[in-house]
């Protein structure tokens, strides 16, 4: 299997992090495809913002638009059957005794990477880009750098391939993620991600805050709001 060294597949959920990663990939690779997962997430609205975000990137940044290839959406509704969490069920979002929010879906990113590699294999894509981060995150162990590096080894062994897994946000916080967007695409990209991406676990998309849409109270909104405030303070 020959993998195109100039092609990337971005795990694109529709959130701030993956939207920034999509811009990052478009600034580096010649062909960029996107992948989303429908797993019965409560914040299913994040799937609805993916197409407008892709269109916004293509319209606002024509050089990127030429590189933006196919979008893939995989039905992983089986995740809702095998796990019992506040991300896939209508339960109150809360912290658990083990320090993880009850939105943690065990192994979710492990499954995502595996399906991403299977698609990349079929599409002949060498680079797989994901927005996971262990700097200011919810503590999900499958977002850790060691997990991703171990997955890269496992996938390359198991698929007899040479995929490269990229995590451009691994060591930066949410404020720096906004700063990365500004460096990649200026104020226009920051504004597209602010208004066009979706992070809120509750799927709330009624109120536009300074940092974007959301309930303002769930762990995803809290992280996003704090990061935005630091970004604005640092940007002056």
Q: How do strand 4-11 and strand 31-38 relate by DSSP bridges?
A: parallel
Among 25, 221, 223, 225, binds Zn ion (CB under 5 A): 221
Q: Is the CB of 24 or the CB of 178 nearer to Zn ion? A: 178
Q: Is 218 in the site for Zn ion (CB under 5 A)?
A: yes
Q: For residue 5, what is the enclosing H or E element?
A: strand 4-11
Shortest Å distance, C-beta 43 to Zn ion? 8
CB 161 within 8 A of CB 121: yes
Sign of CA dihedral 23, 28, 31, 37: negative
- CA-closest candidate to residue 60, choices 179, 181, 160, 152: 181
Query: What distance in Å separates the CA atoms of residue 230 and residue 13, rounded to the nearest whole number?
Result: 24
Among 36, 56, 168, 214, binds Zn ion (CB under 5 A): 214
Give residues with Cβ within 8 angstroms of 158, minimum separation 6: none
Quick check: helix, strand or coil at residue 19? helix
Q: Is 22 in the site for Zn ion (CB under 5 A)?
A: no
Q: Is the CB of 18 or the CB of 167 nearer to Zn ion? A: 18
Q: Is 215 in the site for Zn ion (CB under 5 A)?
A: yes
Number of residues that bind Zn ion (CB under 5 A): 6
Query: What distance in Å separates the CA atoms of residue 13 and residue 143, rounded to the nearest whole number?
Result: 14
Q: Is the CB of 21 or the CB of 220 nearer to Zn ion? A: 220
Q: Is 79 in the site for Zn ion (CB under 5 A)?
A: no
Shortest Å distance, C-beta 214 to Zn ion? 4
Q: Is the CB of 106 or the CB of 203 nearer to Zn ion? A: 203
> Residue 128 pairs with which residues in a beta bridge?
9, 165
Q: Point out which span in 47-55, 76-84, 122-130, 218-226 binds Zn ion (CB under 5 A).
A: 218-226
Among 200, 223, 228, 231, binds Zn ion (CB under 5 A): 200
Q: Is 86 in the site for Zn ion (CB under 5 A)?
A: no
| Residue numbers at the binding site for Zn ion (CB under 5 A) | 200, 202, 214-215, 218, 221
């Amino acid at each position: 299997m020959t993998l195109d060294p100039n092609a990337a597949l971005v795990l694109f959920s529709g959130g701030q992090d993956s939207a920034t990663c999509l811009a990052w990939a478009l600034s580096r690779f010649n062909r960029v495809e996107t992948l989303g997962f429908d797993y019965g997430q409560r914040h299913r609205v994040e799937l609805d913002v993916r197409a407008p975000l892709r269109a916004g990137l293509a319209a606002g940044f024509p050089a990127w638009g030429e590189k933006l290839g196919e979008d893939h959406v995989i039905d992983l509704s089986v995740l809702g059957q095998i796990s019992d969490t506040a991300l896939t069920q209508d339960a109150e979002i809360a912290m658990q005794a083990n320090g993880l929010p009850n939105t943690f879906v065990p192994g979710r990113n492990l499954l995502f990477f595996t399906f991403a590699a299977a698609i990349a294999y079929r599409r002949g894509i060498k680079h797989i880009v994901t927005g996971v981060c262990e700097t200011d995150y919810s503590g999900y162990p499958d977002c850790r750098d060691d997990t991703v590096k171990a997955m890269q080894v496992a996938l390359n062994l198991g698929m007899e391939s040479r995929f490269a897994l990229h995590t451009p946000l691994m060591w930066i916080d949410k404020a720096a993620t906004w700063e990365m967007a500004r460096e990649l695409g200026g104020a226009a990209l920051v504004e597209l991600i602010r208004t066009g991406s979706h992070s809120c676990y509750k799927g709330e998309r009624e109120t536009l805050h300074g940092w974007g849409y959301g309930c303002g109270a769930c762990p995803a909104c809290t992280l996003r709001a704090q990061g935005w405030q630091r970004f604005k303070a640092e940007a002056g």
